[in-house]
Structure 1
């Protein structure tokens, strides 16, 4: 199913008989949070549409990553949640994001690549079917940005290792966006002036990879390189979001005509309005990554429920206070990402678009605090008058009978509201839609 789906995605992007308004895309859910995964898998179960779930190299790798999960254990977690959500495994596509030496770039290149090859073999052996090969970063003793031919040669070595582990299983995406994964670091100009990739640069990147792949791996593997990561002009940092401007991206979108068999993949599409997401799909950016935007919605819902609890059950430490204590006690995940006064940094730790708080939800103290929040609200009945004030969109769904009256269901529904924007943008319904 996976190869057929991705090939169909590519074919319709290059078929002149398919008008832009009818183009489809695929959202990529890039998160390891169980509630985010449950929301995505429950949506797939309801709609019958495939769901693409991706893990990143720093998050999940053969050494455990920052989640403590290997590719096989991440896959098993997804399968468990899918079973609980009633989602058939056949609808679930697993992908790996930025697979390359990034977790080990402080090491000499030979050692970093050795570990990167072991990582991609673990992803392939675990059944991941979409692999983003990213060897663009310099390692110890190298410049930060490497020449196209070096990047392509290393990507080819990664693909060779994946093919040795699981021949013919995966499709590949190459290239990288600027800046590096997870949103822009630090503080930028409030307008976030992000320039789309130059068409010539995209074509040169693809040509360099073709020159490396075809002789070494053959036409079949090269035909499964179905996408190129580029910068369409979308980005976010702690305070601002750069919304897609399709007129600025038209030269890049036009270059896709010279890349038969490929589509563009757009990263950092979090927080884009639905209309911007739809414009991206129509312009050939058929693969849309979203991650922090989903855990941001989760955090918004949890904090809204906490404010609701404060009305019903005043007193005690708030969830925000608990999370502040946890984050300031272990600052490594947010230090360097948030500038400004102490008060400004405190606000951004919780509410910044960069969503660095997502690294702290798996901690035992945070999980216990969320568990107490849910338990405190289980018997409250979640009064409509308070839902209208603190969670109006989810409350409307609850009154319509599509969301259960439980705090957990509220959080899942808040995440689903974001997923719904992507679903509508990627599978348009109307005169030209399905």
Structure 2
């Protein structure tokens, strides 16, 4: 069977601006919403996790690669979504989570991570070796040769793992790979930037040439049959307070160079918060894989905050409220490891960033049991009261237009409809 992502390449070569959204998330409500949204569609759904979220040591979700597969498939079963229509992706898989270690230790962990991913059935692997490791000389730029050598080492492990998987599952789909040395930081930039430099055509071409040399050195004659995309910086990014919109004029030289490589597309990271028009322009210009993550959990958080404000008005007795806004902030203040390095300023400024930053560091806390218990209490409080339609319009103005029936008015559905606002932007961009 041909990999669905290779079919996108075929369509593009026939003149159809085909693309796919890559949903990088481990949140159960978000994944459930995505699968419900595409339930009656013929499209494949691409769901990815990062090396920080999921790895052999658990990551911040406490899941290994095989456990993440089971987790997604369990949600799929609950909504009746066919599991064979899900493409599981590994994002930033490489030494990212161990970048402070020496090359020997970091790459050993990276090799085991990609091996477990392929054995678990991931079929889209982003081989990310773009970061400095603990033993690297940080006084000079990390060379393309070092990045490519490490990437090809991981590619070799993946191919060996696929052969091993086929011994148990002979009809397994061969993985496809994404490479690239100009990889944006997972989850957005730490600092605000006035200007964002688009990858130059020369740097893109150098990445291809360097990988080609390394593939040949390792004896891989047909490796490019399995490489579908290169991560580049097309000029989109977000940080705590800024969103850099796509400017196709700035990306024209890079996108014109892509024409010389008809079997490749660009993968765009940090496309969160772009407008539907900008997303569509990116797909038209060759950025055919649109990765989105924090914007989805931001929409979830946004919906939960709106419900919490409704709860304040509906429930007079404060002791009976979930008080999600305050509860979440207390959890984050008591466990600051996932946000304290990323949010600057005084006490008030940090409080605002914990709540409203585009980086959405609160997503790291959403898998906690106490957070989910609080969310369920919030849902119960809203559903047990008669919320006036005018109040729903007040706190969910965009979502209000999508309410089709009384069922849509449940608390969880209101949050899902808020997430669907994001999904619709990406669906518009990739519509055939």
Partner of 2:389: 384
CA distance in 2 between counterparts of 1:178 and 1:71 reads 22
Which of residues 194, 197, 214 is equivalent to 2:196? 194
Alignment match of 2:232 (pick from 230, 233, 240): 230
8 Å CA contact 1:31, 1:291 repeated in 2: yes
TM (norm. structure 2) is 0.93
Q: Which moved further from structure 2: 290-299 or 331-340?
A: 331-340
Aligned to 1:158: 154
Listed one character per residue, the Cα deviations across residues 163-215 of structure 1 (whole Å, up to 9, x for unaligned) are 11113720000014454211001x314xx411110110011001111111244
CA–CA distance in 1 between the matches of 2:233 and 2:100?
25
Residue 258 of structure 1: how far off its partner (Å): 2.0
C-alpha contact (below 8 Å) 1:160/1:217 kept by paired residues? no
Report the Cα distance in structure 2 between the residues aligned to 1:179 and 1:91, rounded to whole angstroms.
Answer: 28
- Does the residue aligned with 2:387 lie in a helix, a strand or coil? coil
**Retained in 2: the 8 A contact 1:403–1:413?**
no
Choose which of 270, 273, 278 in structure 1 pairs with 2:272.
Answer: 270
The equivalent residue for 1:409 is 413
- Name which of 198, 202, 205 aligns with 1:203: 205
Q: Partner residue of 1:344? A: 349
Q: Given the alignment of the two structures, is residue 319 of structure 1 paired with residue 329 of structure 2, yes or no?
A: no
Output one character per residue of 1:19-41: Cα deviation in whole Å (capped at 9) or x when no partner. xxx40210000000001111111
Shift of residue 396, structure 1, vs aligned partner:
2.1
What displacement does 1:48 show? 2.7
1:260 Cα deviation after fit: 2.9
Matched, 1:135 2:129: yes
Once the 2 structures are TM-superposed, how far is the Cα of residue 354 of structure 1 from its aligned partner? 0.7
Retained in 1: the 8 A contact 2:314–2:387?
no
Aligned to 1:181: 186
| Partners of 2:189 and 2:237 within 8 A in 1 | yes
Judge conservation of contact 1:99–1:134 (CA < 8 Å) in 2: yes
Cα 1:266–1:331 shift into 2, 3 Å? same
Question: Could you say if the C-alpha distance between residues 133 and 383 of structure 1 is closer, same or farther in structure 2, counting changes exceeding 3 Å?
Answer: same
Give the unaligned 5+ runs of structure 2: 164-172
- Secondary structure of 2:229's partner? strand
Question: How much has 1:88 moved relative to structure 2?
Answer: 0.5
For residue 401 of structure 2, give the secondary structure of its aligned residue in structure 1: helix
- Of the three residues 151, 154, 176, the one matched with 1:171 is 176
Per-residue CA deviation, residues 213-262 of structure 1 (Å, 9 max, x unaligned), is 24425333321111000000000000010000000000111110122310
Relative to structure 1, is the Cα distance of residues 36 and 26 closer, same or farther in structure 2, using a 3 angstrom cutoff?
A: same
Q: 1:169, 1:402 → 2: CA distance?
A: 45
TM-superposed CA distance for 1:106, in Å, is: 1.4
* Higher mean displacement: 311-320 or 258-267: 311-320
User: For residues 271-329 of structure 1, what are the alpha-carbon distances to aligned partners after superposition, in whole Å with 9 as ceiling and x for unaligned?
Assistant: 00000000000000000000000000000000001111111113246211111111111
Partner of residue 427 from structure 2, selected from 423, 426, 431: 423
- CA offset at residue 402 of structure 1? 8.8
User: Structure 2 CA distance, aligned partners of 1:201 and 1:69?
Assistant: 36
What SS is found at the alignment partner of 1:95? strand
The corresponding residue for 1:6 is 5
The CA RMSD over aligned residues, in Å, is 1.6
The corresponding residue for 1:362 is: 367
Aligned partners of 1:25 and 1:281 also within 8 Å: yes
Cα distance in 2 for residues equivalent to 1:214 and 1:85: 45
Structure-1-length-normalised TM-score: 0.93
Contact 2:90/2:117 (8 A) holds in 1: yes
Task: Could you tell me which runs of 5 or more consecutive residues in structure 1 were left unpaired when the two chains were aligned.
Answer: 428-432
SS in 2 for 1:47: coil
d(CA) in 2 for partners of 1:177, 1:271? 20
> Is 300-309 or 3-12 further displaced after alignment?
3-12
| Alignment CA distance shift 1:224-1:53 (3 Å) | same
Number of paired residues? 418
How do 1:98-113 residues align onto structure 2 when only pairs under 5 Å count?
98-113=92-107
Displacement after TM superposition at 1:141 (Å) = 2.1
Quote the Cα distance in structure 2 between the aligned partners of 1:27 and 1:244: 16
**Is it true that 1:297 corresponds to 2:338 in the alignment?**
no
Distance 2:177 2:421 in 1: 29
Distance 1:7 1:178 in 2: 22
- Is 1:260 the counterpart of 2:262 in the alignment? yes
Give deviations 1:331-375, integer Å, cap 9, x for gaps.
111112112222111111011101001111122321221111011
